[in-house]
Amino acid sequence: MQTTVIAIANQKGGVGKTTTAVNLAACLAEKRKEVLLVDLDPQANATSGLGLPKEPGASLYGALVGSVQAMDLIQPTCVNHLSVIPSEIDLAGAEVEIARGDHYLHRLRDVLAGVIASGRFDFIILDCSPSLGILTMNVLAAAHSVIIPLQAEYYALEGLSVMTRLIQQLNDNAVNPGLQLEGIVMTMYDGRTNLSQQVVQEVVRHFGDKVYETLIPRNVRLSEAPSFGKPIITYNPLCTGAVAYRQLAREFLARRKDGAAEDEADGGVGFKLKSPFDKPLQIEAPAFVSVVPPAPEATAMMAEETSYASL
């Protein structure tokens, strides 16, 4: 099988990179795709998010300095078809070690060459740290494409422009001339606020169909899942966060023409966020949630509170 290497990257922290990497990988595995998640953040949040300990020597550090093969570091997870190369704090030292060698921007690409050549995986997903250090540059030099998670807030737009310029520079300088922008995932979306809608519309205006139609909503269960060491589809498979990431995986595969037949076969999950082009923008409730309209007296109270708030 042909292996595709995908980086989940954004130099801005707190935009949902690791959440997207873990849950997209798990949802692709649920689709019976063989997936390897490589945790390249020394904080090792993706590692703990899959219930694995942060053990010395388990990370890709040894492979990056030439003391071990990457294939020997692959571990199984609680999700069928999903494997992982964990991280730990020693990986932070790899930045110094890599910088001392020749062809330092291509060290990760060389390390992953054996894994790719094995044909064992459909997708290798690389979770980056929130920085533009040597490790992140190695990730971008090794990847075939980049998915940029973007929080639906205006500060995140600055980080997006930096990432797109960096992708172009890596192409222009022949560091990775084949690097593509796979797509932009809007995360932490709150359909109740005009701000979220405006940010999505602004991103769509500049990047068009590069923006995934699936919007990842703010969801308490998504925040809780890492503390239990589980991806959202095993922690709470019926919550809106799980349904949204399943929908993202289907859209990801459909864009690559890898999942159209499967999507028709399973009939979808029954949850879709409306297009950001349409106003008013609302979230449709999943089929398993019954929406009960508010009582008339509650509606009157809300109207009264709104009139006070406008004073």
Specify the pLDDT at position 156.
Answer: 78
Strand order in the sheet with 4-8: 75-76, 82-85, 35-39, 123-127, 4-8, 145-151, 180-189, 211-217
Tens digit of each residue's pLDDT (9 = 90 or more) over 99-157: 887 888 999 999 999 999 999 999 999 999 988 889 999 999 999 999 999 998 888 78
- Any idea what the CATH number is for the domain that residue 11 is in? 3.40.50.300
The sign one gets for the Cα dihedral 125, 129, 134, 137 is positive
- Beta-carbon contacts of 201 under 8 Å, excluding residues fewer than 6 positions away, are 276, 277
The SS3 call for residue 94 is helix
- Beta-carbon contacts of 146 under 8 Å, excluding residues fewer than 6 positions away, are 6, 7, 8, 9, 140, 163, 167, 179, 180, 181, 182
Tokens of 29: 């595995």
Domain of residue 60, residue span = 4-309
Mean pLDDT to the nearest integer, 50-67: 91
Our count of domains for the chain comes to 1
Tens digit of each residue's pLDDT (9 = 90 or more) over 8-25: 999 888 899 999 999 999
pTM of the model: 0.82
Distance CA 8, CA 145 (A): 9
With a cut of 60, say whether residue 269 has pLDDT above it: no
- Beta-carbon contacts of 131 under 8 Å, excluding residues fewer than 6 positions away, are 11
Tens digit of each residue's pLDDT (9 = 90 or more) over 208-227: 999 999 999 999 999 999 99
Distance CA 110, CA 142 (A): 8
Q: Which of 256, 292, 7 is nearest to 149 (CA)?
A: 7
Q: How confident is the model at residue 301 (pLDDT cuts 50, 70, 90)?
A: very low
With a cut of 50, say whether residue 260 has pLDDT above it: no
